[in-house]
Amino acid sequence: MKFRLKDFRQAHGLFQSDMADLLGLTQSTVSRAELKEGGIELTYPQRMTLFEKYGEEEVSSFFIEEEKEINIINNGNVNDDGFQNNGVIKNDRLILKIVNEQSGTIASLTKKLTEQTDRMLAILEKLTDKL
């Protein structure tokens, strides 16, 4: 999950050099990381350092949710529903999410169809017994 480093730093009144010291990075690395539109990946020790100093809830509020991350990665060309304006799905993670949701729907519909087919077969058997 990506972290909005620049937003966090500015919200806490830190200079890039302060942030670098805190995360064990150089100031130039922080500068380059802040230029990345989608945020940066923090290592586990970096997250723990921030959690200890600022609290987990405060730090977590600066992580980018996956769906928002998808939109940022695709430079805003994706609508809130995850599709480009032309209806094409833009992100592999979104495709997997849709496939998983649809698989559940298909399984549910298949179960209902099987139940209805069994009922219809039972009715047909009764009708053929009467003939």
State the total domains in the chain: 1
Print the domain residue range for 19: 1-64
pLDDT at 114 over 50: yes
Q: What is the CATH number of the domain that holds 51?
A: 1.10.260.40
Does some domain include residue 11?
Answer: yes
Helix (H) / strand (E) containing 96: helix 92-130
Does some domain include residue 47?
Answer: yes
Looking at every residue in the chain, the average pLDDT score rounds to 79
How much is the pLDDT for 76?
46
Does some domain include residue 79?
Answer: no
- By CB atoms closer than 10 A (0-12, 13-18, 19+), residue 107 is exposed
d(CA 93, CA 45): 26
> How much is the average pLDDT of 107-112?
82
